[in-house]
Amino acid sequence: MKLTRLLIICGVTLVSAISLQARESAVLRNGFSISHDHHRQAGSVTRLFLSASEDEYVDMPSENIVNFEPDVELPQPKIENVPNAPGKAHRALTEIVEKAANENRLDPDFIHAVIRAESDGRSTSISPKGAQGLMQLMPQTAMKLGVKNSFDPTENVNAGTRYLRELLARYHNDPIRALAAYNAGAGRVEQYHGVPPYRETRAYVASIIRDFNRRKLEEERAAKSAKSTETAPAKVSDGN
């Protein structure tokens, strides 16, 4: 299964999951919680509506839901275009990301989403813990990946993308666990047999999957709109 499809599935069934605008959360037996506006049960299935308009929803087996709790408000993640820079810088990063993504068989939009969550597109960013560059590599991790300069966009993105590919392989292409390990460390994922119960990590995973899925939906809508325009019949003048 391609990572693009896998992320869409995980985003809709799990991590959209921590939708920050919802009013309640469904606590699942696997430890995840799915935030939503409201829910409705029909037999053995409970439909969780992600928005008040009921345009987006997730169907879950009712037996997988432990209970419902008031939603916890978290800071709205930034999902602006990466990077926050004009012309050449934007195109240069796009090329770097596309090349690294292709070499590691990942979707470029996935890498962009990680960059947005990690550094908001700032190549000189340094976290309080010492993580550096666009994909916020810790010095030890950067060293293991052969990075000489973490502030060099090409080196940083190539290494960060390769590390994500390694984590995905380790967790059998499970993007949820891979992202959790990228944020909190593989040791924590092993310790908790999944996403660790850290508010920061869960919000981090949710923001990336939601960002990725949002962009895929936008691309899909744009493609449908373009196709509709191409196939629309031309107007014929009546001669008046």
Residues identified as active-site: 118
CA distance 177 to 38: 27
- 181 φ, ψ (degrees, to nearest 5): -70, -35
What the block records as the tokens of 187 is: 């040791």
Say how far residue 145 (Cα) sits from the centre of its chain.
23
Interacting residues of 23 by C-beta distance below 8 A, sequence separation 6+: 36, 37, 38, 70, 71
| Residue 97 CB neighbour total at 10 angstroms | 25
Element (H, E) at 108: helix 108-119
